[in-house]
């Protein structure tokens, strides 16, 4: 990702220091900016298997051409001047979170129940490591038990073919088996079969409000899912964004300027 980062630094240096997040922020200072980033991403990301990479890839409409969702990414965002790993981790929803924590976590960022259900839909693509859910397979309450909310056939399958020990930290498991490269509704179908991989997935089916939203999505079209997902992505993209003169422009994306 180093090159990707540098491209951004280059663009940002050319960008104006004033102004809000908007479409085409670099329009006059560097007209080709967004195209350069898009080209870089479409050239380099396809081989990167991580979910993060997949999400970045989806930011550009080459996916739309192949039938995935797309959304607008206004530019002009600046970097924070504080970077604390523990803080970042504490604010990101965890795969072990229950519905109360998930709702609170999203509400803290002005995201509602619908956003929670829609953004969880990103689990339709990508992979996870065993350690994010193996407690459900081996030792859910500390007595060597399985999570009763997980389909037992699926759990047995995961134990025998994927996560052979609870502490396996290397094996990769698809979150939406059978269609992990396709952005579709099958993640929601699996949730209703009690085959969501994480506790946070399973939690969505046991709250009447989130369950109703899942059913609504499943009754709607794929196109409807894409447009709803895109709206939530745009909403998430506007969370606590720094523009104008707040924050800074990092010289190295990974480190706060000294
Ligand atoms: C949800 O998780 C939090 C934090 O682990 C815990 O304090 C709370 O009791 C849990 N709520 C439910 C309903 O299990
Ligand atoms: C929500 O925000 C409050 C205040 O910043 C914080 O104390 C709390 O831990 C946050 N809750 C979650 C679940 O992120
Ligand atoms: C299951 O969890 C309990 C409590 O954390 C622990 O004491 C026990 O050793 C674990 N069992 C296995 C097989 O890891
Ligand atoms: C897995 O790791 C946990 C904590 O690191 C430890 O308590 C447990 O005994 C380990 N389980 C096995 C089966 O090795």
Percent of the chain with pLDDT over 70: 76
Write down the architecture of domain 2-126+175-236 according to CATH.
Answer: Orthogonal Bundle (1.10)
For residues 66 and 128, the model is more confident at 128
DSSP 101-121: HHHHHHHTTT--HHHHHHHHG
Pairing mode, strands 127-129 and 172-174? antiparallel
Domain spans, the chain:
2-126+175-236
What is the per-residue pLDDT for 48?
53
What is the per-residue pLDDT for 22?
76
Centre of ligand 4 from the C-alpha of residue 71, in Å? 42
Q: Is 169 in the pocket of ligand 2 (CB under 6 A)?
A: no
Centre of ligand 3 from the C-alpha of residue 127, in Å? 26
Alpha helix ranges (H) inside the chain: 2-14, 33-44, 51-58, 62-65, 85-91, 99-107, 113-120, 134-138, 152-161, 186-192, 199-205, 208-219, 222-237
> What does the pLDDT average to over 202-209?
98
Q: What is the pTM of this model?
A: 0.80
What is the per-residue pLDDT for 75?
72
Per DSSP, 252 falls in state B
Q: What is the residue whose two structure tokens read 């196109």?
A: 223
User: pLDDT digits over 36-89, tens only?
Assistant: 777 766 666 555 545 444 554 454 333 333 466 776 776 777 777 776 666 666
Residue nearest to atom 1 of ligand 2 (CA): 108
What is the average pLDDT value for the chain, to the nearest integer? 80
What is the per-residue pLDDT for 10?
34
What is the per-residue pLDDT for 221?
95
Residue nearest to atom 5 of ligand 2 (CA): 108
The band of 225, judged by pLDDT with boundaries at 50, 70 and 90, is very high
Q: Is 98 in the pocket of ligand 1 (CB under 6 A)?
A: yes
Q: Is 167 in the pocket of ligand 3 (CB under 6 A)?
A: no
Q: Is the pLDDT of residue 9 over 90?
A: no
Classify 190 as helix, strand or coil: helix
> What does the pLDDT average to over 115-121?
94
Q: Is 139 in the pocket of ligand 4 (CB under 6 A)?
A: no
Q: Is the pLDDT of residue 252 over 90?
A: no
User: pLDDT digits over 133-189, tens only?
Assistant: 999 999 999 999 999 999 999 999 999 999 999 999 999 999 999 888 888 999 999
């Amino acid at each position: 990702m180093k090159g990707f980062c540098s491209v951004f630094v280059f663009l940002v240096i050319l960008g104006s220091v004033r102004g809000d997040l908007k479409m085409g922020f670099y329009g006059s200072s560097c007209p080709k900016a967004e195209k350069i980033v898009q080209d870089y991403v479409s050239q380099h990301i396809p081989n990167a298997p991580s979910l993060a990479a997949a999400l970045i890839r989806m930011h550009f409409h080459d996916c739309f051409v192949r039938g995935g969702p797309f959304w607008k990414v206004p530019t002009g965002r600046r970097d924070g001047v504080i970077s604390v790993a523990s803080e970042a981790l504490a604010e990101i929803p965890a795969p072990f979170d229950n519905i109360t924590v998930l709702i609170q976590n999203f509400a803290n960022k002005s995201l509602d129940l619908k956003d929670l259900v829609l953004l969880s839909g990103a689990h339709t693509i990508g992979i996870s490591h065993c350690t994010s859910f193996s407690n459900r397979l081996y030792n859910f309450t500390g007595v060597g038990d399985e999570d009763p909310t997980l389909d037992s056939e699926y759990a047995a399958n995961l134990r025998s073919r994927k996560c052979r020990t609870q502490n396996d930290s290397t094996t990769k498991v698809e979150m939406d088996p059978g269609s992990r490269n396709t952005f579709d509704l099958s993640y929601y179908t699996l949730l209703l079969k009690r085959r969501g991989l994480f506790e946070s997935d399973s939690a969505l089916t046991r709250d009447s409000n989130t369950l109703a939203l899942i059913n609504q999505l499943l009754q709607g079209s794929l196109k409807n899912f894409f447009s709803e997902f895109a709206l939530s992505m745009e909403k998430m993209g506007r969370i606590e964004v720094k523009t104008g003169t707040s924050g800074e422009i990092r010289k190295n994306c990974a480190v706060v300027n000294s």
